[in-house]
Amino acid sequence: MLFKANASRRHHIPKQRHRVRNWAGYDAGLRARGSLAVWFTPEAVARWRAETRTTPGGQRLYSDLAITTALTLRAVFRLPLRQTEGLVGSIVRLVGVELAVPDHSTLSRRAQTLRLPSEPVSSGGAVELLVDSTGVKLCGPGEWSVEKHGTQRRHAWKKLHVGLDAVTGRILAATLTDHGVDDGSQVGALLDQVEEPLAAFVANGAYDQTGVAAAVAEHTLDVAVVVPPRSTAVPSANAATDPTQRDQHLQYIAEHGRLAWQKAFRYTVRALVEAFFSHWKRVIGDGLRFQTEDRRNAEIAIAVRTLNRMLDLGHPDFIRVA
């Protein structure tokens, strides 16, 4: 709270309380997340073997859906590749079907070139997109190994950029970059993954850049760009005659204050993306297990599919308690 606007006056604001109105259905969805039948589907069994190639080259044994299913089980239950191989083998035996089980080397190799099966698109309406980034750790020596043997480099990490639907909570876009990459530079890459038009674009002050507004306008015209101007921001040269959205935000903040601006322009909805990052790290974990960039990108894509699937199983309907 040291660097928050009006931090000295926030101590009297009571913490909000909420109640889940659909607890029975949400509770059933939470239990279903641990069901093997959810992640090892009949569709995967039917399409387990790869289609016959019509071009020169070796014939693959497993389809992309089979590899995706195995790596999804790995993400859900946080397993190493060898334990993932064992889990898939045990499920195949329990189901009683004649399927070959991909070994851990095959899973690692196929993750490098994996093409994920297409997902059904969302409702098709305009999206209120929440954009933010967080850090994810890379695989490395454990604390005991570092203390005993030392390390020649600092712990490395990557930056995960996401675009979240504020209404449904689904992840619509995700990219993985080096930790030094500017957040605003990835807006175009995220918007390229969003097929629906935007109703609003909401992000924090790190996205207060001209290039961000241009990328949003290129995707959808006349979109509400809700990004707090920096404390040192000044109006544009044409603010008096032809004010931009940013100029209007600056004027509103000058007249009513930053807290009133957050409420008036629905900036407070951005708290949902902060809660989402907490959910990601509790369910998927705060690190990446693969060692190469292409495999890490596949790992992120599978994590996105997994969390969206969990959301489909049961989504909490919160109501604020007075």
Phi-psi label, residue 54: left if phi above 0, alpha if psi -120 to 50, beta otherwise: alpha
Indicate the pTM of the whole model: 0.87
Closest-CA residue to 301 (of 119, 142, 99) = 119
Q: What is the mean pLDDT of the chain?
A: 89
pLDDT (tens digit per residue) in 183-232: 999 999 999 999 999 999 999 999 999 999 999 999 999 999 999 998 88
Rounded Cα distance, 230 and 206, in Å: 8
Q: Would the CA dihedral through 300, 301, 306, 311 be positive or negative? A: positive
Tell me what pLDDT residue 2 has.
47
Residue 30 sits at φ, ψ, to 5 deg, of -65, -40
Buried b (16+ CB within 10 A) or exposed e, 31-58: eeeeeeebbbeeebbebbeeeeeeeeee
Average pLDDT over residues 282-298: 93
For the chain, domains (ranges, CATH) are 17-118+294-322 (no CATH), 127-288 (3.30.420)
Rounded Cα distance, 124 and 246, in Å: 28
